């Protein structure tokens, strides 16, 4: 299929041909005809499949008839990051150069006065990030009552960055009769709920299973023992791999600067890109990377989505991403437009949970660098803390920690200790020592205990106090009393307990005769 079969106008086809494109991608082939009919579209496709051209090309034709009014744009495209918004603006310049459409780029970090002047002239296409658009709306610099086409791009990224409340507010400012194009790389339940809320009887287009990686990307996990080993492992990969252009992703912005300085100290030509940088510096760094002046770019996730830079040969995840979906978007920066690419993820034993989530999302195992999946030992599916399989490094660390807990009497108490060669002799020595202690205890008199107990706890008879020892003698007996005395005392108690007292002993038969019989005698 060619672009001419999709129903595009001649000026657009001419611009596409001049850009060097001949055949549309699957998402373009399915989305463009539907968009031209004016129907809502719910598109789900993995990153790098040409979604941007899938909505920019038909929008140019839809908006070619008509003219924009001052401060009232005719279409609105919402992007999660400044870089993505700038990239979409470039697409309109490339494909709409033979038309008279006007556009404005409304993003943070740029001069607001310049953006206000562009809106005052009237624009057909407004490309914006949510925060800056709401700022201008609250200042009364832009009106959204004339929007004919709304595009929400990278919706799942909007969700991750917390822009959904802003998106919902912006949508309430738009006219209800409009065409809405909703694109996302993944389709979690929250995104599905938003699509049902914003779209009216949409045409669903899915060109690949959500959250799958491109088949032309080889990805690997590089196990490292500790966080401090990551930089050395990364430098080794950069030297051993045929790197032409590479993106290195970190989870935190401060780690981007630290890793950038480390690579520079070791002779690598690299740049840095993260959200705390000034917009001018971000734009300049990205342009130098795009032109090949710097072959390595260390970035946070601000660069993970939608950056269309040709011929990125490698992607390195210095950190395992917190969200499994970010893995798909990060490594999707390579292997674009049918090219092949390689991706490497440095993982410590503590990353087992996140790795397991990634493998469940993409529904396949990620081979370890230098270890094929067939040679990989199969471990517990839950991995570290409930996450996927554990590699050898992770399992060794887990067993080491478990051993230490067992010695302290923790969760590993029930584990069987490994027998050593000296164990039989140790048992024999313990047995002999126990026998010596037992013989010594038999011949040595027992020491009285701190609190002496009665030989028998039964209460004495009432008359025992007259003929036997008082009970107080037992209670206040000195502590240095000999054990033999205690035994005699115990014997006398037994004797008194089983023998009657002197006054109670019968002396003869007469003593048992009742008194009234003795009286007659």
Domain stop point among 141, 173, 206: 206
Pair 249, 305: CB distance under 8 Å: no
Q: Are residues 170 and 202 in the same domain?
A: yes
Rg (alpha carbons) of the chain, rounded to whole number: 43
| Closest listed residue to residue 250, CA positions, set 348, 160, 316 | 316
Greater pLDDT, 496 or 246: 246
Mean pLDDT confidence for 3-9: 93
Domain stop point among 357, 384, 403: 403
Range with top average pLDDT, 65-69, 168-172, 185-189: 168-172
Q: What is the mean pLDDT of the chain?
A: 77
For the ranges 38-52, 324-338, 432-446, the lowest mean pLDDT is seen at 432-446
Q: Can you list the alpha helix ranges (DSSP code H) found in 275-351? A: 279-291, 324-331
Q: Are residues 226 and 201 in the same domain?
A: no
| Closest listed residue to residue 154, CA positions, set 38, 29, 300, 51 | 51
Q: Are residues 399 and 292 in the same domain?
A: yes
Range of the domain at 135: 3-206
Mean pLDDT confidence for 159-174: 92
Q: Are residues 147 and 39 in the same domain?
A: yes
Q: Are residues 256 and 171 in the same domain?
A: no
Q: How many separate domains does the chain show?
A: 2
Q: Are residues 66 and 187 in the same domain?
A: yes
408 within some domain: no
pLDDT-based confidence at 279, cuts 50/70/90? confident
Mean pLDDT confidence for 100-109: 92
Region label for 317, one of left (φ > 0), alpha (ψ between -120 and 50) or beta (otherwise): beta
Mean pLDDT confidence for 482-488: 44
- pLDDT for 442 equals 52
pLDDT tens, residue by residue, 418-450: 444 445 455 556 666 656 665 555 555 554 444
Beta-carbon-side half-sphere exposure of residue 384 (alpha carbons within 13 Å): 21
- pLDDT for 186 equals 79
- pLDDT for 61 equals 94
């Amino acid at each position: 299929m060619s672009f001419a079969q999709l129903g595009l106008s001649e000026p657009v086809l001419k611009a596409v041909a001049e850009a060097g494109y001949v055949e549309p991608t699957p998402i373009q082939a399915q989305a463009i005809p539907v968009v031209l009919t004016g129907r809502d579209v719910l598109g789900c496709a993995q990153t790098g499949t040409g979604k941007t051209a899938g909505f920019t090309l038909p929008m140019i034709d839809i908006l070619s008839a008509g003219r924009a009014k001052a401060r009232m744009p005719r279409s609105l495209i919402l992007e999660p990051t400044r870089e993505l918004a700038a990239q979409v603006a470039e697409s309109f310049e490339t494909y709409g150069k033979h038309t008279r459409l006007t556009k404005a780029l409304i993003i943070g970090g740029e001069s607001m006065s310049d953006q206000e002047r562009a809106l005052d002239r009237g624009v057909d296409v407004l490309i914006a990030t949510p925060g800056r658009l709401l700022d201008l709306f609250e200042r009364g610099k832009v009106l959204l009552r004339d929007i004919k086409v709304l595009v929400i791009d990278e919706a799942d990224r909007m969700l991750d960055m917390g822009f959904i409340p802003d998106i919902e507010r912006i949508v309430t400012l738009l006219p209800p009769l409009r065409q809405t194009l909703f694109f996302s790389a993944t389709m979690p339940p929250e995104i599905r709920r938003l699509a049902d809320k914003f779209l009216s009887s949409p045409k669903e287009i899915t060109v690949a299973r959500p959250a799958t990686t491109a088949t032309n990307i080889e990805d690997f996990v590089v196990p490292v023992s500790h966080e401090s080993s990551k930089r050395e492992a990364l430098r080794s990969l950069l030297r051993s791999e045929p790197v032409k252009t590479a993106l290195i992703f970190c989870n935190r912005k401060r780690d981007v600067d630290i890793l950038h300085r480390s690579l520079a100290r070791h002779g690598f030509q690299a740049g840095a890109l993260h959200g705390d940088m000034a917009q001018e510096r971000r734009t300049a760094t990205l342009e130098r990377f795009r032109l090949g002046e710097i072959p390595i770019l260390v970035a946070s996730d601000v660069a993970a989505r939608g950056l269309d830079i040709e011929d990125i040969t490698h992607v390195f995840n210095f950190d395992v991403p917190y969200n499994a979906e970010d893995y798909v978007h990060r490594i999707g920066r390579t292997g674009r437009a049918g090219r092949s690419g390689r991706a490497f993820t440095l993982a410590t034993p503590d990353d087992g949970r996140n790795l397991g989530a990634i493998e469940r999302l993409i529904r396949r195992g990620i081979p370890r660098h230098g270890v094929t999946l067939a040679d990989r030992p199969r471990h517990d599916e839950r991995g570290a803390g409930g996450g996927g399989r554990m590699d050898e490094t992770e399992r060794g660390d887990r067993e080491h920690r478990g051993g230490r807990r067992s010695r302290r009497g923790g969760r590993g108490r029930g584990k069987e200790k490994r027998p050593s060669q000296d164990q039989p002799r140790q048992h024999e020595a313990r047995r002999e020592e126990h026998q010596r202690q037992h013989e010594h205890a038999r011949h040595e008199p027992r020491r009285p205990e701190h609190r002496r107990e009665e030989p028998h706890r039964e209460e004495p008879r009432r008359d025992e106090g007259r003929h036997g020892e008082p009970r107080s003698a037992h209670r206040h007996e000195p502590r240095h009393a000999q054990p033999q005395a205690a035994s005699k005392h115990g014997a006398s108690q037994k004797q008194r307990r089983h023998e009657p007292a002197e006054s109670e002993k019968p002396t003869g038969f007469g003593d048992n005769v009742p008194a009234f019989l003795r009286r007659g005698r």
